[in-house]
Structure 1
Amino acid sequence: MNGEIQSILFEREIGILTNMEIYTGNIWLPSLSLNQNPSTPILPISTEIVSVDYKENYLICLTANGNGYLFNTFDPENFISLNTPNEHIFKLSFLDNSILMMILSRLNRSLQFFSISLPVISIENKIQLLENLNIGFEDLLEYDIYSQNLVIYKENICQIIQIPTGRILYQLENLCPYYSRNHAITVESNDDINTITSVSLESGKRHVFTVEDMRRIQILDNFDDFLVFTHSEKVKILDLDTRKVSEVSELPYKYYVGKENSVAEYQDGIRIVSKNMVKVDLVPDIVCADLVGIIAVYVENKGVFILDTSGYIRQTIFPTAKIQAMCMNRETNQLVLCSRRGFYLYN
């Protein structure tokens, strides 16, 4: 390993480094010339990173062409391609101490699930999961990267299935529920009453609430103690303990659900979602809200803004390239920014 890079990685681990840039194109650091390090990873010129995840010292990314790559920040000169030329990865994430790959068949558009343990020695060591589960691409409604649940709807039956066990956590016929944060939520209309039922898949706790109005209800989010939904052209919050409903905003045009926090996006800014939404005058291109109390938003030509849940801007980062994806390392609290073919790591 290059001595300068090794020193930087060591300093990062003991908390000295505040900023490190990693390029997976031609160079690792600005001080290195293009031909000085022939072992530097060079991804195909057509590479376009669409998603990234970061766990401990392992970083995985998925490209628009369905290719997956694994990087070890302690050995940055080497990277591993996670699929064969005939495989198209549809979803890529960490699963405990392994990597989960959801592979889409080009022939019949079916989905197969594989895991491969860390550290990865060879992709030949991957293990197939859910072998008895026949899922087509059109059957998959949602994949929860945090709880590792699949929501599928097939032959008029909805199932929420846990990975890797294959255990059915929830099943319902002829009705497709909303899913949010390990909760299944149904909205049923009868006469002039909408009945909302929220069930925790973890504890089995059930909440039932009625709205005496037939106008359409759409569920946005289900936290442990409150439910976020749209009704009558407004965003409303239902306190699950007191059953009190509060009207908090107009309809957003986009809603981002993170691990601990959520963000509603509007034409003139964002609102950080809590029982009392906090307005922030930023219009982001990308939102990342994976850590408790921390939200990162990227605004093109302005930078990446690190916010707390009160809306206060704690830090601003000015990347040198357009950012296409980002995530947070939930073990080390590091932020990863992705350009089209490169990564930038920040403490």
Structure 2
Amino acid sequence: MNSFALARLRAWMKNQGFERFFVQQPENFAWLTGGGDNTVVTFRPVAAWLEVTPETVRLHASQIEAERLLDEETPGLEVLRYPWYSPPAPQGPCDLEHDLTPLRLVLSPEEQARYRALGREASMALGESLRFADPGWSEYDLAGAISEELLAKGIQPLVLLVAGEERLFRYRHPIPTRRPLGRLFMGVVCGRRHGLIANVSRLRSFGHSEAASLHTQVCQVEAAALDASRPGATLGEVLEQIRLAYGRMGRAEEFENHHQGGLTGYKSREVLARPGNPTRLEVGMALAWNPSLPGAKVEDTFLLGETGLENLTHDPTWPTLEVAGRLRPGVLEG
């Protein structure tokens, strides 16, 4: 169990006057158990849930899943089994009706260590796949290569986007198709392991004339977001700096064409940054900003620390450029 998370939940329960609380949502199950997974089908439906009281934690699981969960996800917990054909409903307040997101946002040192390992391996898996790709591949081919690299590291691709030259300039959420990659292509991953999610985007060019200039522009927008991402700032304030940055480059309309990211962790977007969002940044929170233009996007996962931002998805083997004093991923050429 994650003692840090359990203490936060129990303090919240006491404040709410709850003597017991049921945890079903996969993101909360992973948070409390230190990375356990209560699903078989990705995210829904759940195969088990936790019953938390001030003194105990019990696992409720179907007869199918109970032994595996005890062996591999939640060792040491008392388990109450229910028939696979007759799952009961939790009898009391649960996280389907009470949002625990604010409790999850500040990550413990143990969670941060898991995140560093995940971020490094997720970015290198994506980078290796793009290095191996060929312009004649289809988007499906690249998606398959990325999936193979991720799954070999125990990382589940919750979001996997691929766009070749033809579609990269048209769509912000390019689900892979049979279209060829061509001279410029992008891979985007939200990869999950032990509950946490690393968000990362990379591009490769084979002599595309606009690739470098477009990428420089989105990195300038991102720099405004990273500069503003300080403890005490609100998500709404950071988002306003992003909006202004698009305007300074004469692309104000692009702010409206895709969300810009926000807080991440046990969901790819724990809190999506929206205009006026009052959520204040704190040390120990994770951020993933993803400004984009037709033909360009930049995205990494950062941890907000005492001394600034730490790039959790830095790939030391990927080409970089310096933007506003930071090393940012470039477009891999050739």
* TM-score, normalization by structure 1: 0.27
* TM-score, normalization by structure 2: 0.27
The structure in which a higher percent of residues are helix is 2
Larger radius of gyration: 1
